[in-house]
């Protein structure tokens, strides 16, 4: 493999991990406010062999499920995938076919489904799944750039990405939980 591609791949992975940690930080805040309980989906691992003393040699299996799952305070399920790019656009293909199947199933069952996008760890967006899935029909191409993403922008304050702000809840809920 090309060394520069390896370096770029490692960099992209590291920035994606930072984005996910920032999301987890925001989710801790929302949970503390009783707005939602959402957790990171553990990565699937396959044990290759035991090494003793509780240690194993493992490999990560192909990523298959969306990154985060949980529920909002109104009881609605919420599922989202986190995607980071340093490019000026995010491609539809970054969500795998297996993840697409999960999103379609969750959507059919009434879950709120989103793709959370980070552009350069500076701008953040919550794209509804039905928009993500129909990019070609909506925008004429299978990617979204800053112009396409603009309606889905979420703010950031005090270092916290406000990923759930603006989501309408159904029924009665405690107004004191909203900022």
pTM confidence score: 0.85
In degrees rounded to 5, what are phi and psi of residue 12? -60, -40
Q: Please report the pLDDT score of residue 178 as a whole number.
A: 45
**Assigned domain for 117 exists:** yes
Separation CA 79–CA 110 (nearest Å) = 11
Q: Please report whether residue 179 resides in a domain.
A: no
Domain count, the chain: 1
Buried b / exposed e across 43-72, counting CB within 10 Å, b at 16+?
A: eeeeeeeeeeeeeeeeeeeeeebbbbbbeb
In a domain, 178, yes or no: no
In this structure, the number of other CB atoms found within 10 A of the CB of residue 119 comes to: 21
The Cα angle at residue 132 between residues 160 and 142, in degrees rounded to 5? 120
Q: What is the pLDDT along the chain (179 residues), one digit of tens a residue?
A: 688 778 877 888 889 899 999 999 999 999 999 999 999 988 777 788 888 898 888 877 766 789 999 999 999 999 999 999 999 999 999 999 999 999 999 999 999 999 999 999 999 999 999 999 999 999 999 999 999 999 999 999 999 999 999 999 887 655 444 44
CATH classification at residue 123: 3.40.1350.10
Q: Residues, the chain, total? A: 179
Domain that holds residue 72: 3-50+57-173
The answer as to whether 101 is a domain residue is yes
């Amino acid at each position: 493999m090309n060394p520069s591609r390896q370096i770029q791949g490692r960099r992209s992975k590291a920035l994606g991990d930072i984005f996910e940690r920032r999301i987890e930080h925001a989710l801790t805040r929302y949970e503390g406010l009783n707005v939602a309980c959402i957790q990171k989906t553990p990565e699937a691992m396959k044990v290759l062999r035991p090494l003793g003393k509780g240690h194993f040699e493992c490999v990560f299996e192909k990523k298959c499920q969306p990154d985060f799952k949980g529920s909002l305070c109104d009881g609605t399920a919420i599922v989202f995938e986190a995607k980071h790019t340093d490019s000026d656009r995010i491609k539809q293909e970054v969500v795998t076919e297996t993840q697409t199947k999960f999103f379609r199933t969750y959507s059919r069952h009434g879950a709120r489904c989103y793709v959370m996008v980070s552009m350069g760890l500076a701008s953040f967006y919550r794209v509804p799944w039905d928009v993500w899935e129909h990019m070609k029909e909506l925008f004429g191409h299978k990617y979204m750039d800053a112009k396409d993403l603009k309606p889905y922008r979420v703010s950031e304050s005090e270092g916290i990405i406000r990923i759930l702000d603006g989501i309408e809840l159904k029924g009665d809920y405690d107004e004191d939980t909203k900022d």
